[in-house]
Structure 1
Amino acid sequence: MREIVLDTETTGLDPKAGHRIVEIACVELDNHLPTGRTYQQYINPERDMPEEAFKVHGLSADFLAGYPKFAEICDAFLEFIGDARLVIHNAEFDMRFINAEISALGHAVLPSDRAVDTLMIARRKFPGAQASLDALCRRFGIDNTHRDLHGALVDADLLAGVYLELIGGREPGLLLAAGEQISVAESQQLEEVRQKRPPRPHLLSEAELAAHAAMIAKIKDPIWLRE
């Protein structure tokens, strides 16, 4: 099962307001194990860099001016992710930006159900607890001391480790009968079924009751017959 852990950096919060992707990075997983294959690209956003965004990732308009535009890297990016499932922290944000960029170039948008949102998984698993990437790194003992600023490749690499912990380690969701792996969504559905399953009746048959009575009759002063 091929998965792509993905992260982006942007000029702001809303592509509808003219904000663009300035960095995109991917880490490839195969059966939940990093393969060592990555994709990372700085992107010229063809606009200025707001101070608020610069404070987050440290990427200036001058620095990015020498890098290709999204139109120039789009095909390479789509080829790298292929049809793999996308693992993203706060997936709605990144998917909105990616779809804005690729749809502007005439490509079909990526369906939202293709993304696994680790933020939502963390909130369900640890209700009320902090669910930022830094907080999850602390929870799982993942070293993030090299994360001074947000960087897409650094964050994607950290998220890969967090994702493996969130789904239960390196061998999550094994179907014992078939030896096949199941998705996080399927695991959650199975857990809901287990929790909602009504208790089974355990009534004894007439033969079992008779056998029990016969056994008790052989015992001197059986406790089962005491008042």
Structure 2
Amino acid sequence: MGPLSRWWLRRHHGHGPWAGLLRAPPPGEWISLDLETTGLDPARDHILSLAAVPVRDGRVWLSERFERRVHTARAFGIDSIRHHRITPDEAGEGEPVTEVVHAFLQWLGSRRLLGYHLGFDLDMLAPHVRALTGFALPHPTVDLANEVARLQRRQRPDAPVNLDFAHIAGTLGVPLVARHTALGDAVTVGLCWLALGERGWPGG
């Protein structure tokens, strides 16, 4: 979202119940976000879990995490279960998605968002965010995959780009934490982001 769109939102929603989303983001802090879903189609699939962790001062702040399981009655098969390790019974015990997204937005405030292929997560959240707030998330975003692609092209312009999550983490010396869980992937992305910063990319 560009500066003009943010200005318009502040003008029309800056004194409303979601004004906290529209303030200037605090410097030097990111929120690493990850979702687990029933599939990869934002138009049809549902959110199963949402987790996010603050990244600041050279650390991933696990103690300040946001983590919720989301209720869905939508059926999903064994391949989906093998991927995210959430069974239909567990999904049925989650909280309503509107309540989860509401709580997440209150927790998030105006902090910048960080993720791996973050656009998919934001597409999954978009209809729920708009239903609650009346507008799309205005937050500045950073996508780990995009930054790694830029770095790889700069370092080896003629080599193919490898954006496999395990490859990125291994190259940066970061362990894969509880892969294919929302919290584990959010933590791993945060650690990768810090490792990139230690290498001077993309400028801290």
TM-score range, shorter chain: 0.7 to 0.9
* 1-structure distance, mates of 2:36, 2:74: 14
Task: Name the TM-score, length of structure 2 as normaliser.
Answer: 0.75
Runs of 4+ in 1 over 3 A off after TM superposition: 104-107
Q: Secondary structure at the match of 1:83?
A: coil
Identity of aligned residues (%): 24
Asked if 1 retains the 8 angstrom alpha-carbon contact of 2:102 and 2:132, the reply is: no
For 1:150 and 1:48, locate their aligned partners in 2 and report how far apart those are by CA, in whole Å: 19
Task: Provide the residue aligned with 1:212 in structure 2.
Answer: none
Aligned CA-pair RMSD:
2.2
User: Which of the two has higher C-alpha Rg?
Assistant: 1
Deviation at 1:51, TM superposition (A): 3.4
Unaligned runs of 5+ in 2: 1-26, 154-159
Q: CA 1:43 to 1:157, structure 2 compared with 1: closer, same or farther past 3 Å? A: same
CA deviation digits over 1:132-158, x for unaligned, max 9?
2211111112222x53x5001011111
- Aligned to 1:126, the other structure's residue is in SS state helix
Query: 2:97 matched to which residue of 1?
Result: 70
1:115 matched to which residue of 2? Answer: 141
Matched, 1:21 2:47: yes
Query: Which of 151, 170, 193 is equivalent to 1:138?
Result: 170
Q: Which residue of 2 aligns with 1:167?
A: 197
Equivalent of residue 91 in structure 1, options 114, 118, 121: 118
Q: TM-score, normalised by structure 1?
A: 0.68
**In structure 1, how many angstroms separate the alpha carbons of the residues matched to 2:79 and 2:131?**
25
CA drift of 1:65 comes to 0.6
2:122 counterpart SS class: helix
Distance in 1 separating the partners of 2:166 and 2:145? 12
Mapped partners of 1:107, 1:60: distance in 2 = 33
Structure 1 residue 100 corresponds to structure 2 residue 127: yes
| Cα separation, 1, equivalents of 2:73 and 2:164 | 30
What is the rounded CA distance, in whole Å, between the counterparts of 1:76 and 1:59 in structure 2? Answer: 21
CA distance in 1, matches of 2:127, 2:81: 21
Structure 1 residue ranges without an equivalent (≥5): 174-183, 189-227
Please name the residue that 1:154 is paired with.
184
Number of aligned residue pairs:
170
